[in-house]
Amino acid sequence: MDFVIIANDWRAGVDNPTSKHRIAIELASRGHRVLWFEGSGMRQPTLSSGADRSRISAKLRKVLRPPIPAAETAQYSGSVSVVTPFLIPLPAKAWARKFNGAVCVQTARLWAKRAGFSRPVLINYVPTLAEAMKAWPGKRIYHCVDRWDAFSTYDTALMASLDAACCTYADTVIASSEDLVARCSRHSSRVILVSHGVDYAHFAKSLTAPRPADLPAGNIVGFFGLLSEWLDQELIVKLARALPEYPVVLIGKPDVDTSGLNNIPNLRLMGPRPFRDLPGYVGSFAVGIIPFVINDLTLAVNPIKLREMLAGGCPVVSTALPEVEKLDGLARAVDIARTHDEFIAFVNKRVAGPPNPESRLLISQSMQGETWSAKVDQILAAIDAI
């Protein structure tokens, strides 16, 4: 099949590939052709913000170019082409949303025709482009992977209404957590659960990967991923101060203020590392942590990092996220904490006695059935059933 995927910036997948990137890569690896559309933002940019001005400038430079192979913008190869259409970043304006939807549909049809696509399937991840789904001439999938109305930086009422519209327009809605299935089912009778997967072969390399030279010595308490509003920074500070003999390492790019994590001797913010290098870091963790706050946003989240850490043979301590609780005790490797003190106690026990190579292998093998290939099988079956 041929696919048009409306999602975020393709380059975001270099250090922190999302479920969208992984699904596109898996489809391409099977011989399906994929046209990746870099969609519009979820909020209106602020011209006084240097970061927003930089993003606008970068997007404008890409708008007029033809689709380019994804391999030119990331380390992945395969038949994925990336397009950046000219979209107006004013999601609160109905006229702008209609304009953007029309631009997406017409641009996609133009490039798809030039590429010889046959009746491409649309998979949309961007609620602000609901109008593109409404006008799409072929099969339409809405893949809901977040509680968009629960992000503090987005307009709650607007995102809720656009999320509902996407569910209504879709032939099938795919949701990544039970919470999202329940919410999407209010607007569609065609909702299925497909949890996130893992690049098992990649993270299984953690079992034999050498320890990166930039890691501190000792048994490491580790996290990798975007440092965003879902992190419980108070818990992280408490953890580092309660276990001063162990280094606490956070790998990832921050998109929130993390100044409260500074000046703690054993707490280190390392910034992002390329996806290809992550197995070495995961293999060096004595314990991985998912220190998320519990709120409307995280009750719906299905953290990809959980399966990636486990595939790397790394035991995990997490706060009580519903989608993590499904794996509570898996391979004796997942601990669920319901208080800060309990979280610290679980981490202390794990880091003081890290698993041996045989235990790491068993933990890793528990994820063999959770691959992105298995998840894409589910998605393709849902598309076939339309």
Residue 151 has pLDDT above 70, yes or no: yes
The closest alpha carbon to 327, from 313, 342, 339, 317, belongs to 317
CA–CA dist 203, 316 (Å, integer): 15
Which of 150, 201, 176 has the alpha carbon at shortest distance from 303? 176
Whole-angstrom distance, CA of residue 82 vs CA of residue 234: 39
Q: Are residues 88 and 231 in the same domain?
A: no
How many domains does the chain divide into?
A: 2
Confidence band, pLDDT 50/70/90 cuts, at residue 73: very low
SS3 316: strand
Question: Residue 140 belongs to what domain range?
Answer: 2-197+371-384
Do 89 and 104 lie in one domain? The reply is yes
344 is written with which tokens? 């610290």
Flag the least confident range among 75-89, 251-265, 294-308.
75-89
182 and 42 fall within a common domain: yes
Average pLDDT rounded to a whole number, residues 35-61: 62
Same domain, 106 and 239: no
The domain that contains 76 carries what CATH number?
Answer: 3.40.50.2000
Give percent above pLDDT 90 in the chain: 80
96 CB-side CA count, 13 A: 14
The model's pTM is 0.90
The verdict on 41 and 21 lying in the same domain is yes
Q: Please report, in angstroms and rounded to a whole number, the separation of the first and last CA atoms in the chain.
A: 14
For 273-291, how does the pLDDT look when each residue is reduced to its tens digit (9 = 90+)?
999 999 999 999 999 999 9
Query: Is there a single domain that holds both residue 275 and residue 225?
Result: yes
pLDDT tens digits for range 310-366: 999 999 999 999 999 999 888 899 999 999 999 999 999 999 999 999 999 999 999
- The answer, yes or no, to whether residue 74 has pLDDT greater than 70, is no
Least confident of 86-90, 266-270, 292-296: 86-90
- For range 8-37, the mean pLDDT: 89
Distance between CA 240 and CA 344 in Å, rounded? 9
Same domain? 237 vs 152: no
Residues 217 and 333 in one domain: yes
| Amino acid 17: pLDDT | 87
Does residue 40 sit in the same domain as residue 52? yes
51 and 174 housed in the same domain: yes
Res 329: pLDDT: 83
- Based on the fold, state whether residues 277 and 257 are members of the same structural domain: yes
Instruction: Answer whether residue 63 shows pLDDT above 90.
Output: no
Q: Looking at residues 292-296, what average pLDDT do you find?
A: 97
Task: Count other C-beta atoms under 10 Å from residue 246's C-beta.
Answer: 21
Q: What is the pLDDT of residue 263?
A: 94
Residue 56 pLDDT: 47
The residue among 308, 332, 340, 326 whose CA lies nearest residue 223 is: 308
Same-domain check for residues 352 and 375 = no
Q: Of 38-52, 115-129, 186-200, which range is least confident?
A: 38-52
Q: Counting every residue, how long is the chain?
A: 386
Strand duo 33-38 + 80-83: pairing: parallel
Q: Give pLDDT, residue 331.
A: 83
Q: Which of 13-27, 42-56, 90-104 has the highest mean pLDDT?
A: 90-104
